């Protein structure tokens, strides 16, 4: 077993070990040094005898991306073959302590944080802020810089008023005699070390899997920095409206390509050399999958994807198949997409289900039809019973994708409705128009539980929704559009709406909703390879059938 071992590290040993490169600071985050204000607060806590938390380190021969220079102080590399002691928890505390005690300068964009400008107020009581960064209101001779307090000899200290001598000596001894609490994890695999860290770090900010993998895969000789590579990929995807793809999905994809498993421990155990070799091919496969989503399925932007994780199996497919899928491959792949999207597949336990589904993708690559252990109820009644509208629900997103496939046109003039990630991130986006306006239906005695339904949703532009429709009855506003737009019936087809016999001119919401659910049902059936099990499907839809990964990434 890899048992964590508690240790105490004296002040001088800690600083010396950092300077010698024995204790390494993994560069998990861009801002690995706190601000001068927070660093001053940390020193203040030490002088007052407050606990500042325990550092968790990992002793290993693995190589991680590390901080090589702190404010001009070069931190030497660990000699090849030697153990390094990486700080897993407390990087910012440790670097901030080092900067404050050494008085170094840290560049932050165009601004420089000078840690030499941290001072000890010799008049402050224990109930006041002892360590400060602003001396404007302090009298000369009543404060001392932190670096002078630690490093200056007796001559400098003797220059202060005699009444401060005891305090100066006391503060110096507190700092130089301080023992830092440390827990060392020895020679454990990275996944075990981070699991130990997670359990010890209850209540603290956890390291994300991506942050750990950025440090693990960094290679200066190969010019590989996962953080930069991911940003470059997202920039390219932004150009085509797919910039909300999460870093977790990208890690899942590369893990599935390399080992067909994508749980946290599988990702942490990926070989660094193989990861770097596969990155460009996996990035290309992700872009090919996005092209296919946009081109063949006409899903215009990433926020409409029912699940962020859908990208992983499709990228896996395009990693192994560089051409567009045709015939059986095309049909089976489409069937897979809609079964996952409509069946609530990735609302929980995503990693395990992705590993199962990769086997299905392997079958599709071999022109074999996969089997599924869940069925899809394609009936209009099921849509009517389960279609309450929440733009975050995966089932609803799938139906919105079907609507977007039609390339909806404006009711006014037939211009294409623009769909973008920017407006989709708003849950109450005005581009989601209730065809029978909610305010109108309320007057008919129907509450939002009736009106707020996917069967009553159309995708329109903001101008049309706010200024031209409002709370008018469909018969009223559609009559106006019919006068303005001779091609209105054709343009309404792009919304999966027919003008005749749908209750529109009679303002009959019940007839309209029934007909709209029928047409959505037909569209679903077109996209599936229907099986016997689907005919008598006992499908249930979870109220919380949300995209687990997108929620974690705040998408």
User: What's residue 263's pLDDT?
Assistant: 94
Q: Is the pLDDT of residue 330 over 90?
A: yes
Arithmetic mean of pLDDT over the chain: 88
Q: Which of 77, 78, 66 is nearest to 32 (CA)?
A: 66
Query: Nearest-CA neighbor of 344 among 306, 399, 308, 287?
Result: 306
More confident residue, 461 or 174: 174
9 forms beta bridges with: 180
Least confident residue range of 41-45, 88-92, 170-174: 88-92
Compute the distance between CA of residue 88 and CA of residue 234 in angstroms, rounded to an integer: 27
* Residues composing the chain: 555
For 502-515, write each residue's pLDDT tens digit. 999 999 999 999 99
Interval 441-462 mean pLDDT: 90
Average pLDDT over residues 529-555: 65
Judging by DSSP bridges, how do beta strands 5-10 and 179-186 pair with one another?
antiparallel
The better pLDDT of the pair 220, 474 is held by 474
User: CB under 8 Å to 501, separation ≥6 — which residues?
Assistant: 515
Are the C-beta atoms of 360 and 340 separated by less than 8 Å?
Answer: no
| Cβ atoms of residues 49 and 157 within 8 Å | no
> For residue range 204-219, what is the model confidence (pLDDT) as tens digits?
566 788 988 988 888 8
Please state the separation of Cα 258 from the chain's center in Å. Answer: 22
Q: Quick one: pLDDT at residue 151? A: 85
Name residue, tokens 């067909």.
260
Virtual CA dihedral for 371, 374, 379, 381, nearest 10 degrees?
A: 180
Contact status, residue 250 vs residue 286, Cβ threshold 8 Å: yes
Whether the predicted pLDDT of 162 surpasses 70: yes
pLDDT confidence of residue 546: 66
Distance CA 443, CA 320 (A): 57
Domain boundaries, the chain: 5-200, 209-365, 380-527
Say which residue, 399 or 187, is predicted with more confidence.
399
**Gap between the Cα atoms of 282 and 275, Å rounded:** 10
Strand partners, 457: 434
Round to whole Å and give the CA distance between 253 and 240: 20
The DSSP secondary structure of 336-383, one letter per residue, reads HHHHHHHTTTTSS-HHHHHHHHHHHHHHHHTT-PPP-SS-----HHHH
Alpha carbon separation from 408 to 58, 224, 499 (Å, rounded)? 56, 43, 15
Closest CA to 71 of 11, 25, 130, 133: 25
Does residue 316 carry a pLDDT above 50? yes
What's 426's DSSP letter? S
Please give the residue that has the higher pLDDT: either 90 or 124. Answer: 124
The percent of residues in the chain predicted with pLDDT above 90, rounded, is: 56
Cα of 212 vs its chain's centroid, Å: 14
pLDDT of 235 > 90? The answer is yes
Tell me the Ramachandran region of residue 407: left when phi exceeds 0, alpha when psi lies from -120 to 50, beta otherwise.
left
- Residue 271 and residue 280 in contact, taking contact as beta carbons nearer than 8 Å: no
Close Cβ partners of 312 (under 8 Å, ≥ 6 residues apart):
249, 252, 253, 256, 262, 354
In the block, tokens 């920017």 appear at: 422
Least confident of 123-127, 285-289, 547-551: 547-551
Are the beta carbons of 77 and 162 closer than 8 angstroms? no
The H or E element spanning position 399 is helix 394-405
Is 70 exceeded by the pLDDT of residue 31? no
Ranges assigned E (strand) in 444-523: 457-459
Name 70's bridge partners. 73
Of 17, 6, 152, the C-alpha closest to 94 is 17
531 pLDDT band, cuts 50/70/90, is: confident
The pLDDT of residue 387: 94
Mean pLDDT is highest, among 97-111, 173-187, 297-311, for 297-311
Least confident of 163-177, 297-311, 531-545: 531-545
Structure-token pair, residue 555:
């998408």
What is residue 201's predicted lDDT score, i.e. its pLDDT? 59
Question: So what's the pLDDT on residue 529?
Answer: 93
pLDDT at 553 over 80: no
Which of 95-99, 199-203, 425-429 reaches the highest mean pLDDT?
95-99
Angle at 538 between CA 533 and CA 542, to 5 degrees: 130
Task: Look up the pTM and report it.
Answer: 0.79
Average pLDDT estimate for 31-57: 89
The answer to whether residues 40 and 132 touch, using CB atoms and an 8 Å cutoff, is yes
What are the C-alpha distances in Å from 413 to residues 92, 137, 458, 484, 487?
A: 57, 68, 16, 8, 8
In angstroms, the first-to-last Cα distance of the chain is: 39
Q: Of 10, 19, 6, 4, whose CA–CA distance to 46 is shortest? A: 10
- Does 246 score more than 90 pLDDT? yes
Closest CA relative to residue 56, chosen from 30, 86, 76: 86
pLDDT tier at 555 (50, 70, 90 boundaries)? very low
Residue 428, class by beta-carbon neighbours within 10 Å (0-12 exposed, 13-18 middle, 19+ buried)? exposed
More confident residue, 200 or 535: 535
* Residue 341 pLDDT greater than 70, yes or no: yes
Greatest CA separation found in the chain?
Answer: 99
| Cα–Cα distance, 295 to 298 (Å, whole number) | 5
Which letter does DSSP use for residue 77 in this model? Answer: P
402 pLDDT band, cuts 50/70/90, is very high
Q: What is the mean pLDDT of residues 395-408?
A: 96
Output the six-digit token pair for 520.
């959505």
pLDDT at 552: 52
Question: Rounded distance, CA 384 to CA 453, Å?
Answer: 8
pLDDT of residue 139: 93
Q: What percent of the chain has pLDDT over 70?
A: 90
The mean pLDDT of 139-157, rounded to a whole number, is 87
């Amino acid at each position: 077993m890899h048992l964590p071992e508690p240790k105490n590290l004296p002040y001088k040993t800690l600083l010396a070990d950092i300077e010698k490169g024995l204790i390494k600071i993994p560069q998990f985050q861009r801002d690995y040094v706190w601000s001068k204000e927070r660093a001053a607060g940390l020193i203040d806590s030490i002088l007052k005898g407050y606990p500042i938390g325990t550092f968790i380190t990992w002793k290993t021969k693995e190589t991680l991306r590390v901080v090589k220079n702190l404010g001009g102080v070069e931190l030497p590399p660990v000699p090849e073959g030697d153990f390094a002691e990486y700080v897993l928890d407390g990087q910012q505390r440790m670097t901030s302590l080092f900067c404050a005690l050494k008085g170094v300068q840290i560049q932050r964009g165009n601004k420089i944080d000078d840690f030499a400008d941290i001072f000890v107020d010799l008049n402050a009581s224990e109930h006041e802020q002892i360590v400060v960064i602003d001396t404007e209101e302090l009298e000369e001779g009543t404060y001392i810089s932190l670096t002078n307090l630690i490093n200056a000899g007796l001559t400098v200290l003797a220059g202060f008023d005699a009444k401060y001598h005891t305090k100066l000596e006391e503060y110096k001894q507190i700092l130089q005699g301080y023992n830092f609490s440390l827990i060392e994890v020895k020679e454990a695999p990275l996944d075990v070390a981070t699991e130990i860290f997670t359990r010890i770090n209850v209540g603290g900010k956890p390291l994300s899997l991506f942050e750990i993998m950025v440090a693990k895969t960094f290679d200066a000789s190969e010019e590989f920095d996962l953080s930069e590579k991911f940003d470059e990929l997202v920039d390219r995807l932004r150009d085509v409206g797919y910039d909300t793809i999460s870093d977790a999905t990208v890690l899942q994809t590369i893990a599935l390509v390399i080992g067909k498993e994508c749980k946290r421990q599988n990702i942490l155990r990926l070989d660094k050399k193989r990861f770097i070799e596969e990155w460009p091919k996996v990035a290309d496969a992700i872009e090919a999958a996005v092209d296919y989503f946009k081109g063949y399925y006409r899903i215009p932007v990433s926020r409409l994807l029912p699940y962020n994780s859908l990208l992983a199996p499709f990228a896996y497919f395009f990693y192994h198949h560089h051409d567009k899928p045709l015939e059986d491959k095309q049909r089976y792949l489409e069937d897979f997409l809609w079964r996952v999207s409509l069946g609530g597949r990735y609302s929980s336990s995503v990693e395990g289900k992705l590993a199962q589904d990769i086997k299905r993708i392997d079958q599709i690559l071999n022109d074999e039809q996969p089997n599924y252990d869940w069925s899809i109820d394609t009936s209009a009644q099921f849509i009517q019973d389960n279609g309450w509208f929440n733009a975050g629900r995966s089932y609803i997103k799938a139906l919105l994708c079907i609507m977007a496939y039609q390339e909806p046109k404006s009711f006014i003039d037939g211009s294409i409705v623009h769909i973008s990630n920017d407006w989709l991130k708003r849950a109450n986006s005005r581009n989601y128009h209730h065809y029978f306006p909610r305010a109108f239906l309320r007057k008919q005695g129907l509450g939002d539980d009736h009106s707020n339904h996917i069967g009553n949703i159309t995708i329109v532009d903001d101008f049309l929704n706010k200024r031209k429709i409002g709370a008018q009855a469909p018969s009223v506003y559609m009559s106006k559009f019919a006068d303005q737009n001779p091609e209105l019936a054709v343009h309404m087809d792009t919304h999966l709406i027919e003008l005749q016999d749908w209750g529109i001119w009679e303002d009959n919401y019940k007839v309209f909703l029934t007909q709209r659910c029928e047409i959505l049902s037909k569209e679903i059936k077109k996209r599936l390879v229907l099986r016997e099990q689907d005919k008598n499907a006992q499908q249930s839809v979870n109220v919380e059938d949300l995209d687990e990964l997108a929620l974690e990434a705040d998408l």
